[in-house]
Amino acid sequence: MSEGRGLSVTTRITVLTGVVGALLCVLLGVVLMTAINRLANAYLTDEVKGGAGRVSREMELGALTDPIAPGPIRYIQVVDEAGRVFASTPELRGRPPMARFTPPDDNDTAQTVICGGVFAKGECAIVVAQWAHRAGRSWIVYSAAPRFKPWVHPVFAVLLPTATALLAGTIIYLGRRIATVSMRPVREIRAELDEINATCPGRRVPVPPGDDDIHALAESVNHTLGRLQTAMEQQRQFASDASHDLRSPITAMRAEVEDALLAPDKTDVKSVAGAMLRSLDRLQAIVCDLLTIARLDAAMPGERDPVDLAELVTAELKIHQHRTKRIECHLQAGVVVFGDWLRLGRLFTNLLDNAERHAESAIAITVRHDSRGPCDPERFPDGAAVMEVLDDGAGIPPDKRELVFQRFARLDSARARDTGGTGLGLPIARQIAESCGGTLRIEDSDKGARFVLCLPAAAGPPLHGASATPPAAKCGAAEAGGRAQVPPVAGA
């Protein structure tokens, strides 16, 4: 059945309630009718026994008359030892004995149900037999009365189904009423959700009172809407910032081309090409960063290989040798994590580029096991690998340390976009850290900005394969774990 033709939840609950209620009512009616029938027949059996006892006493006292006065019981016969009817009530005059069974002893009675015979066709009667003795002779007194039908009485036969139907109808009505009232908040939530769109992301669904599942559902929906609104606003801001950053180099290149067209004789092709190449480099950097962020946002999995952070740092420093600031390394050997070499290299490069833009003269790089903080021990119960990048620049105020991890964020003139950054390096670095199960924060320092990367330390085999990290050059001339300096390239 398609969703469009499916029954609503209210209808399903009503149908289920109706079926279950009807079955329970029918079962209740059957049980009640059976119990009343058995109770009525039990009372009737006592009456029949009482009639047999009365006639037996009259027979023993010699006070029995023929025909026998029926009293409450209309079917009574007295049968002698030869099986001949000695006396009977008027209804059984001239009829053969109604039964042939006898009581087991003189002081006991026997009873059974007999259908047909001396009784009307299709009629069943409760028959009780009892001995009577007088003057050395014995007789059997048979007393009988028709059994009650299963419905006991015609009025009861009409009343019970009617009451059962009314009770079933009441249950169905109450079930639908309860389902309707219970689903009303859901309909209100759905109606509000239908009204929410991109033009009004701040609207929220109504939260019903109480502490039930629908209340929790409404709160969950509102939390989801809040996250969607935040994501939408971030996306809009990101698109605005990206378009602004892309427009700046495009505008610069357009201005260069227009100037060259206006004065072709005075235009130096080499100068124009150099200016345009700088703008193209910036465009390329922004586009590459945008593609990286898109991959990280899509949660594309990276490799899970063992990576020695000290080797990664020395390898990246060897690749990017043209640095204008002095670099000091404090690298502890054997600090291994599981991750993607290329992504972790990109993370370190972004931190190093940021530090170089804002350092005055030196950058300190530290790799070590977390033995004295600042990594959260609850988040890294098996230990953490720490990488720190510290510059000796102006630093970042504590209240703005999270702002620099927002995309295209700028703080002041010291960290303005004219320093060469795209405004995406630090956000990319944090996303890479979080995708590896780690954290990237700015911690306190005596001078400059101190970026601290915490990653889960490798404590077992890698998840995918066991490939070793590529060989890496040492940081300077000293062994890893010592203190070395990488001097700036001559002429930089």
Distance CA 27, CA 35 (A): 12
Q: Give the tens place of pLDDT for each residue, 136-158.
A: 788 888 888 888 888 777 887 78
pTM tops 0.75: no
At residue 390, the pLDDT reads: 94
Asked, as a colleague might, if the bond just before 264 is cis with ω within 30 of 0, I would say: no
Phi/psi at 437 (5° precision):
85, 15
Instruction: Look over the chain and give the mean of its residue pLDDT values, rounded to a whole number.
Output: 80
Name every residue whose Cβ is closer than 8 Å to that of residue 320 and which is 6 or more positions away in sequence. 349, 352
List 367's β-bridge partners, or say none. Answer: 331, 387
Distance CA 109, CA 105 (A): 8
- Higher pLDDT pick, 106 / 233: 233
Distance CA 332, CA 369 (A): 8
Q: Tell me if 292 sits within 8 A of 346, measured CB to CB.
A: yes
Band of residue 410 on the pLDDT scale cut at 50, 70, 90:
low
At residue 64, the pLDDT reads: 81
3-state class (DSSP) for residue 366: strand
Q: Are strands 326-331 and 483-486 parallel, antiparallel or unpaired?
A: antiparallel
Distance CA 364, CA 352 (A): 10
- Higher pLDDT pick, 121 / 241: 121
Picking from 460, 454, 423, the residue whose alpha carbon sits closest to that of residue 436 is: 454
Distance CA 140, CA 132 (A): 6
At residue 475, the pLDDT reads: 56
Residue entry with tokens 């009293």:
71
Name every residue whose Cβ is closer than 8 Å to that of residue 195 and which is 6 or more positions away in sequence. 203
Kindly write down the DSSP assignment for every residue of 152-196, as one continuous string.
SSHHHHHHHHHHHHHHHHHHHHHHHHHHHHHHHHHHHHHHHHHH-
Q: Tell me if 139 sits within 8 A of 58, measured CB to CB.
A: no
At residue 464, the pLDDT reads: 41
Both tokens assigned to 480: 């890893």
Distance CA 98, CA 117 (A): 7
Band of residue 172 on the pLDDT scale cut at 50, 70, 90:
confident
| Stretch 333-354: mean pLDDT | 90
- Greatest mean pLDDT range, 212-221, 294-303, 436-445: 436-445
**Angle, in degrees to the nearest 10, between helices 154-195 and 213-262:** 20
Contacts for 244-252 with beta carbons within 8 Å, 24 or more apart?
244/408, 245/286, 245/408, 245/417, 245/422, 245/423, 246/283, 246/286, 248/282, 248/417, 249/279, 249/280, 249/282, 249/283, 249/286, 250/279, 250/283, 252/279
Picking from 4, 417, 458, 40, the residue whose alpha carbon sits closest to that of residue 241 is: 417
- Rg for the chain (alpha carbons), in Å? 50
Distance CA 117, CA 169 (A): 45
| Stretch 388-406: mean pLDDT | 88
Of 246-250, 342-346, 386-390, 393-397, give the lowest mean pLDDT range: 246-250
| Stretch 252-267: mean pLDDT | 82
At residue 351, the pLDDT reads: 92
**Angle, in degrees to the nearest 10, between helices 341-358 and 425-435:** 150
Distance CA 426, CA 451 (A): 10
Q: Tell me if 138 sits within 8 A of 105, measured CB to CB.
A: no
| Stretch 8-34: mean pLDDT | 86
Both tokens assigned to 58: 């009259």
Phi-psi region of 344 (alpha: psi -120 to 50; beta: other; left: phi over 0): alpha
* DSSP 8-state assignment for residue 470: P
Asked, as a colleague might, if the bond just before 471 is cis with ω within 30 of 0, I would say: no
Q: What is the CA 465 to chain-centroid distance, rounded?
A: 34
Both tokens assigned to 440: 């990237």
Band of residue 453 on the pLDDT scale cut at 50, 70, 90:
very high
Band of residue 348 on the pLDDT scale cut at 50, 70, 90:
very high
- Higher pLDDT pick, 188 / 461: 188
